[in-house]
């Protein structure tokens, strides 16, 4: 086995490592509300999330193509660039997970690719076509997520204003299983595709693929690894998202999941990578704000937002340092 094959193998392992981290930091967002409202047990929720994430990842490749071809110029980078980006993601996301903070693997990924790409080939490596979609995704995940969560929660409160709380709880206890499944599917259709795109990009850079084309084998491998990550480490994030930020009932959990899933699905069909962490977080905030602003634990929100803000510079700088080091050595 040559040095090129060893290098490709190492980078693919780093990508799968980042996907594993994605499983315990980002994927739990899809099931945080359904677990916190006790509609499903954690074990059942993880099984459901893993299956629906896989089906969502199989539903299209538009987001994978944006990540693999639209963020940095594939002609100007190499395997070291991709590997350096993965190192930044693994380090930062694991650190944030230790404190129970949900991070955006979407932002970590694009920041890592940008930082490593700048070290490899300079500013010309960045592609505006993909970064434009990243900026649109920020608007989707922040304003659209909050607004949709607020609107759905207000609509439910008005429609069921004359129903007894126990009947509403029973009804939405059943409906929330569907909304959680929808959320998990949408997570796979957007977030699950991102590392699939990077894995495919590495295969192209390593010479195993003549052009960028996502295969079902790659989808399968990445989806399984993400499911394993969710099952072994997801509870810390579930606790932050579903218990600490806002006290959720089945109808409010349904509202947050439905709002977030609709936003994510729309973005996925347009090939727009967005942060599922941001989207479900802002949807939960919108749901909480529908009662009163004090219903949201803004101290916890501040911790989450701080992790969001730090993700871009930290992952970008780490990836730049790693790529610069290997460029100097090689």
pLDDT digits (tens, 9 = 90+) for 201-225: 999 999 999 999 989 899 889 888 8
pLDDT averaged over 10-residue windows placed end to end, the chain, 330 residues: 73 94 70 73 79 84 91 94 95 79 80 96 93 90 92 94 88 89 89 91 94 90 82 61 61 90 94 86 84 62 73 93 91
- Output the pLDDT for position 315: 93
- Output the pLDDT for position 1: 39
Question: Do the Cβ atoms of 141 and 263 come closer than 8 Å?
Answer: yes
Residue 200 lies in a domain: yes
Residue 84 lies in a domain: yes
- Output the pLDDT for position 165: 86
Residue 330 lies in a domain: no
- Domains in the chain: how many in total? 1
Residue 129 lies in a domain: yes
Residue 329 lies in a domain: no
Residue 34 lies in a domain: no
pTM (2 decimals)?
0.85
* Residue-range definition of the domain harbouring residue 45: 3-28+39-324
Residue 179 lies in a domain: yes
- Output the pLDDT for position 325: 94
Residue 43 lies in a domain: yes
- Output the pLDDT for position 147: 95
């Amino acid at each position: 086995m040559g040095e090129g094959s060893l290098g490709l193998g190492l980078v693919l392992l780093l990508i799968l490592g980042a996907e594993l981290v994605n499983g315990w930091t980002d994927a739990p967002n899809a099931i945080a509300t359904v677990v916190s409202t006790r509609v499903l047990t954690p074990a059942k929720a993880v099984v459901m999330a893993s299956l629906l994430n896989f089906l969502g990842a199989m539903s299209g490749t538009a987001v994978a193509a944006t990540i693999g071809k639209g963020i940095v110029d594939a002609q100007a980078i190499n395997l070291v660039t991709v590997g350096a980006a993965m190192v930044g993601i693994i380090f930062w996301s694991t650190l944030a997970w230790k404190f129970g903070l949900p991070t955006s693997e979407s932002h970590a990924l694009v920041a890592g690719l940008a930082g490593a790409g700048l070290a490899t080939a300079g500013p010309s490596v960045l592609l505006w076509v993909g970064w434009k979609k990243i900026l649109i995704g920020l608007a989707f995940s922040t304003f659209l997520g909050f607004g949709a969560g607020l609107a759905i929660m207000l609509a439910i409160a008005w429609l069921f204003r004359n129903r007894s709380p126990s009947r509403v709880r029973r009804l939405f206890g059943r409906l929330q299983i569907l909304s959680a499944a929808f959320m998990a599917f949408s997570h796979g259709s957007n977030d699950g595709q991102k590392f699939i795109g990077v894995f495919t990009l590495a295969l192209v850079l390593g010479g195993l693929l003549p052009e960028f084309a996502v295969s079902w084998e790659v989808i399968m491998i990445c989806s399984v690894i993400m499911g394993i990550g969710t099952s072994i480490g997801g509870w810390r994030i579930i606790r932050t998202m579903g218990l600490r930020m806002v006290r959720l009932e089945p109808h409010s959990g349904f509202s947050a999941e439905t709002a977030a899933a609709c936003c994510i699905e729309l973005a996925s069909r347009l090939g727009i990578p967005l942060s599922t962490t941001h989207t479900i977080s802002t949807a939960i905030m919108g749901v909480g704000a529908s009662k009163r602003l004090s219903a949201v634990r803004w101290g916890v929100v501040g911790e989450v937002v701080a992790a969001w803000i730090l993700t871009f510079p930290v992952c970008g700088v780490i990836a730049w340092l790693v790529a610069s080091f290997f460029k100097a050595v090689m």
